[in-house]
Amino acid sequence: MSEKMSRKTSRKKLSVIGAGNVGATCAVWAAKRELGDIVLLDIVDGMPQGKSLDLYEASPVEHFDAKITGTCDYTDTADSDVVIITSGLPRKPGMSRDDLIEANTKIVKSVAEQVAKHSPDAILIVVSNPLDAMVYVAYQASGFDPSRVLGQAGILDTARFSAFLAEAIGCSVKDISALLLGGHGDDMVPLPRYASAGGIPISQLLSADVIEQIVERTRKGGGEIVSLLKTGSAFYAPAAASVQMAESIIRDQKRILPCAAYCDKEYGVGGYFVGVPVVLGADGCEKVIEVELNGSERQQLETSIAHVKELSKA
């Protein structure tokens, strides 16, 4: 078989940088969905190798086919279709996402440079905090077109919003549709006006006070988990959200998903990465969707964008 034919018939390749809780869980979700062959990389020798072997040994039980490689060498990630970057320090109690910026900037910059060297055609999904600033760092360090650099945050934040709404309404999470804009922080912008349950606006199902309480809990959702865990931060939901993005790209699903995407004229951002709904397909961010906002929503979004710009310039 020719090399050209072999490439056409080979599985897609997904690399996950960082084999901690988020990265390892990304590998699990991706393997379960059979998104392709998986490479799990970390600087701690033995950890990605051991976790990868453990996950591969689960494949006969869970019935998924994938080659799973654990490594400390970026050459093993070469020619990846999608790379998920989870590397960086996690939050601890009393810390904000912003507190991580100096240390994680160095880490994400180094990772993005290595990824660009070995997988120049990949699409990057950044998970490291502070998210919006780290996406900008990865964009600058990789030299990639901004459509191929995205941040995972909006899906996670919207999932939290949806979960809390379903709990309050007493309905299935499957029936909740919600939207959230802005940066991944306490000034994110949940949009109750665009939320519904089974097509019914949530304003007809919940009081304004309850909705506002849910909005506030959503904004502080990550901190709530950090305070409970005490030694780390969330990983199941962030990993699931990251893999949903990877799946839409790898399978060219063109899902409309809230992601940290490059916006210039869109929403008046002016050349930064911020959480907005996008069409996510084989080319990465294929379109940014602008939704109509009322005065209050626009003001909240502008506040969030200003914070994102401040962090990205730090």
The residues annotated with a catalytic role in the active site are 184
Do 141 and 226 meet the contact criterion of CB atoms below 8 Å apart?
Answer: no
Q: Which tokens sit at 258? A: 């809230």
Do 270 and 283 meet the contact criterion of CB atoms below 8 Å apart?
Answer: no
For helices 236-250 and 154-169, what crossing angle results, to 10°?
Answer: 120
Which residue in 239, 219, 76, 82 sits closest to 150, CA to CA?
82
Cis omega (within 30 of 0) on the bond before 190? no
Do 101 and 126 meet the contact criterion of CB atoms below 8 Å apart?
Answer: no
**Pairing status of strand 68-71 against strand 37-41:** parallel
Q: Which tokens sit at 137? A: 């760092």
Q: SS3 for 290-309, per residue?
A: CCCCCHHHHHHHHHHHHHHH
CA-to-CA separations, 177 to 132, 163, 219, 257, 282, in angstroms, rounded: 24, 10, 17, 11, 24
Dist CA 245 CA 281 (whole Å): 9
